[in-house]
Chains A and B, each alone.
Chain A
């Protein structure tokens, strides 16, 4: 054992020690309280996560909470018993707030769980030892409760010159560490040796104030006996020599730079309590479940130190120490300098509670009122951190946080020395604490707002990128349109020939994609054409018509190929599904609009003069009607039978398509003719004849197209004619019908998609109705119906019948599922409505009756919806069982 050299630190004070009171009685061991309150946040960092449930019985030393992240800790049952609750309880905190606690009711047996000491700690890796310490719930027992394993890990950053054991215990009244050293000298030394093994520092020094002669003597004896190289440094009594940075300065002469940790300059500090806990954990296998605490103060008749189980309520300890409730003026957790007042004696002892000070009025009077700072400079002289307290006070008062930080506010250890000496009784520390927490809050808010900004900007960037991509695609398509057409034209003959010869060998997927692209181009061109026609731009019309017909040809030929390649594909689609979807959508629309309407009406009730609201309500009512109308039409039957308002424009379009098909037919026949000529086929004449027919038909259609007014009447006949011509032509009739079917279906899909798109864009029903899509949808459905009602060719029929059985079942399933979903939504909506109505009922007692009626109606609706839902679910389960 060697003696270490002692340095000194700036400032410091010598308050009355008041340590003798609690050292007169020997160490006490209070009885088991009726319940133990174990807060989950006894340490710095994240609160622990409970491992037990209410009602679980635990043994003494069982883990009851597990660490929750890096800076967190385990928690163990201090005695055996049952978990009676996990709930919010008042905790020892300056805020007087509650926090989540595990409440343990002791069974009185105090049965230990099986203890497994870590006997081979010298042989296993240090990381494993650290992990073990963490599992034993060991945290720094001196100050803030920093998880010990984290601190030890941090000590590996730099080679350690000093490992300091803090036994200074400088704060008045407190003698817990003194008593601990006296009682557990050997355990302490063994604990230090274990820690030294883990950190391997050059020097190990115990720093202890000279007001603890008994403890010093005990230590020295043990150290000499063990021939240990641990040094004991006896420092003069001065507050706050027990501050980590102050003790380091005292023992090494080194100052921890502002904003850094002792580990950064190769120093590690541990409290004596922690060392003993480490010993108990490794040598005895005992987790941290009890601690030494000083009970002192004038209000106690039996001031003493106690070894107390964590979670013991302070009231229990006050009883044990024979408190005089009349004398008790202020209850303080910690010492008179750094402690804080607690409002309730029900708060429990935690891992960091080193002292309970039950002070009488005389002992700790209410602080004198604050006076103005007289700039005496005494605070500066007392400050152990060499700060300028009066400057800091000034900045704190005027909320100049930046300047306060600049003057190293965060180096203040909140020791209270400045407040102690201030002749104006200014509560300086409280100002600093407030300022510190304000700054911390502002920092956190900043971090949060930065995050929000990032996320907001990321979202915006994403949305912009999506929009730009769409735009780029659109432009590309527009640009590619003419060149693509020629490409396609070039490509078609080559592709078409083998398609006729060997139909199955083509890549149908590619074709489909081509068709989709071609169709959308076509749509666009047609739209442009329409616009041009409306505005009577003659040149545009011509060139556009040209493009349209080209495009139509491309699409038609591509589709012809596709039809060849995948014969089953187009017919396989289940037609009722889209209609059903439509129906469902319409119903949801009705419901949603209804809810919106209700919301608005409610608002209107609250502020009846709001014209804007009235307008909105009116608008929504119109929407509702429109949506209901749609619902009615859709509900009548899946493919709607009548569309009286099909405008001339749409007929024109139909006509155009027919014309295009006819033209395509002409092209095809021409092609065939050419080929026939090439190989000198005998059918040349027949083909010539067909060509003429086709041309005639195309001309006819063209004429009709040029004369839109007449189109309405001619359309039907031309179509018929065109079809007969096409039939007579070499083109396969079944193929054509399939194409028509596919076109019609694609039309339906497209219209639906567009309607959906409009909805997604937040357009409401009236706008959607105003657009052309609903009409188109109906029209397309009509066409589909006509096409299907026509005698299907054998090929189509075959594929269709083949597809039916499997599909019918799937469709039925789908139906049921969608219906159930729908009903569920209806139920949710009805519930929401009832909620809303109830709220309204509370708000406006005047029209109780009408609201009641509404509620009744809504409830009825809810009931019927629920009943239906039940039925549906029932039938679904039935169906599944039957299968």
Chain B
């Protein structure tokens, strides 16, 4: 009987000691985890266009963290949805067409001789990508423009165009090979190779 009690007593003591150590370690070596909103925000394209129905990407990140669907961001497109799905461990769904469709990358271009210098576009641009002053000609810094479209509507003389950024030799990238199914009807590839080996 005594042995049993002793054993129980010892175990209780040990568990208390370890519990205390673990508790201390938890406080002492606490690691500040990346809050989920930051992680989601990092995956969003930061176009700040508001097509998702939120005033910018971060608010949408917060909304996603609170359970909104992950397929409301057209500029991010399917790849962003995939990344979000991976992060949140949910099913990747197709882009919600109500919020717009995925378009090729574009930048705004101001037809400068038509600009009346009203500064309305400057006020609309979420990333300060437009340069100009009252009654002066305005222009877009193409490298900073996210192609969000927000400056087009406010322009009273409609002199802003969204221009597609085409692929150049420097930005071109290799296609993915078609894979097995697409190319092959011959099961045994070497059969055909045998004919042409020289």
A positions within 8 Å CB-CB of B? 41, 47, 91, 93-95, 97-99, 362-363, 365, 368-372, 397, 423-425, 427, 430-431, 433-434, 436-438, 440-441, 445, 448-453, 455-456, 458-459, 592, 595-596, 821, 824-825, 828-829, 831-832, 835-836
Some 20 contacts from A to B, beta carbons below 8 A apart, are A95-B167, A97-B172, A362-B196, A369-B180, A371-B184, A371-B189, A427-B177, A430-B174, A434-B177, A440-B173, A449-B44, A449-B46, A451-B144, A453-B57, A459-B127, A596-B156, A825-B116, A828-B116, A832-B156, A836-B158
Q: Which of A91, A423, A452, A824 contacts B127 (CB 8 A)?
A: A452
> Do the beta carbons of B184 and A370 come within 8 Å of each other?
yes
Q: Which residue of A lies closest to B114 (CB)?
A: A828
How far does the alpha carbon of A318 sit from the alpha carbon of B48 in the complex, in Å?
Answer: 53
Q: Given A362-B198, A456-B127, A829-B157, A449 and B172 touching (CB < 8 A)?
A: no
> Do the beta carbons of A452 and B48 come within 8 Å of each other?
yes
Additional pairs, 16, CB under 8 Å, beyond known A98-B169, A423-B190: A47-B170, A93-B172, A368-B189, A369-B183, A369-B184, A370-B177, A425-B189, A452-B45, A452-B46, A452-B127, A453-B41, A455-B128, A455-B129, A595-B157, A824-B116, A828-B116
Contacts of A455 in B (CB 8 A): 127-129, 144
Contacts of B156 in A (CB 8 A): 592, 595-596, 829, 832
> Do the beta carbons of B169 and A97 come within 8 Å of each other?
yes
> Do the beta carbons of B57 and A99 come within 8 Å of each other?
no
Q: Which residue of A lies closest to B191 (CB)?
A: A368
Contacts of A424 in B (CB 8 A): 189
B135 on interface, CB distance cutoff 8 Å: yes
Contacts of B169 in A (CB 8 A): 41, 91, 93, 95, 97-99
How far does the alpha carbon of A663 sit from the alpha carbon of B82 in the complex, in Å?
Answer: 75
Q: Which of A97, A370, A440, A821 contacts B180 (CB 8 A)?
A: A370
Q: Which residue of B lies closest to A457 (CB)?
A: B58
Minimal beta-carbon separation of A398 from chain B (angstroms): 11
B146 on interface, CB distance cutoff 8 Å: yes
B3 on interface, CB distance cutoff 8 Å: no
Q: Given A370-B184, A434-B175, A456 and B193 touching (CB < 8 A)?
A: no
Q: Which of B47, B157, B192 contacts A832 (CB 8 A)?
A: B157
How far does the alpha carbon of A474 sit from the alpha carbon of B144 in the complex, in Å?
Answer: 35
Minimal beta-carbon separation of B196 from chain A (angstroms): 4
Minimal beta-carbon separation of A416 from chain B (angstroms): 13
Q: Which of A97, A372, A456, A459 contacts B168 (CB 8 A)?
A: A97
Minimal beta-carbon separation of B139 from chain A (angstroms): 16
Q: Which residue of A lies closest to B172 (CB)?
A: A95
Minimal beta-carbon separation of B144 from chain A (angstroms): 6
Contacts of A93 in B (CB 8 A): 169, 172
**What class of interface size applies to chain B in its complex with A?**
35 or more
B74 on interface, CB distance cutoff 8 Å: no
- Kindly list the 10 A-B residue pairs having the minimum CB-CB distance in the complex, ordered from nearest: A437-B173, A369-B184, A449-B46, A95-B172, A365-B196, A433-B174, A369-B183, A455-B127, A452-B46, A832-B157
> Do the beta carbons of B173 and A449 come within 8 Å of each other?
no
> Do the beta carbons of B48 and A456 come within 8 Å of each other?
yes
Contacts of A98 in B (CB 8 A): 169
How far does the alpha carbon of A368 sit from the alpha carbon of B56 in the complex, in Å?
Answer: 50
Q: Which residue of A lies closest to B197 (CB)?
A: A365
B186 on interface, CB distance cutoff 8 Å: yes
> Do the beta carbons of A449 and B45 come within 8 Å of each other?
yes
Contacts of B173 in A (CB 8 A): 434, 437-438, 440-441
> Do the beta carbons of B167 and A431 come within 8 Å of each other?
no
B28 on interface, CB distance cutoff 8 Å: no
Contacts of A595 in B (CB 8 A): 156-157
Contacts of A449 in B (CB 8 A): 44-47
B176 on interface, CB distance cutoff 8 Å: yes
How far does the alpha carbon of A449 sit from the alpha carbon of B46 in the complex, in Å?
Answer: 5
> Do the beta carbons of A369 and B189 come within 8 Å of each other?
yes
Minimal beta-carbon separation of A590 from chain B (angstroms): 12
Minimal beta-carbon separation of B78 from chain A (angstroms): 11
> Do the beta carbons of B176 and A434 come within 8 Å of each other?
yes
B179 on interface, CB distance cutoff 8 Å: yes
Within 8 A of A (CB), among B29-46: 41, 44-46
Q: Which residue of A lies closest to B41 (CB)?
A: A453
> Do the beta carbons of A99 and B168 come within 8 Å of each other?
yes
B159 on interface, CB distance cutoff 8 Å: yes
> Do the beta carbons of B126 and A459 come within 8 Å of each other?
yes
Contacts of B116 in A (CB 8 A): 824-825, 828
Contacts of B159 in A (CB 8 A): 832
Contacts of A445 in B (CB 8 A): 45
How far does the alpha carbon of A99 sit from the alpha carbon of B169 in the complex, in Å?
Answer: 7
Q: Which residue of B lies closest to A425 (CB)?
A: B189
> Do the beta carbons of A372 and B46 come within 8 Å of each other?
no
Minimal beta-carbon separation of A372 from chain B (angstroms): 6
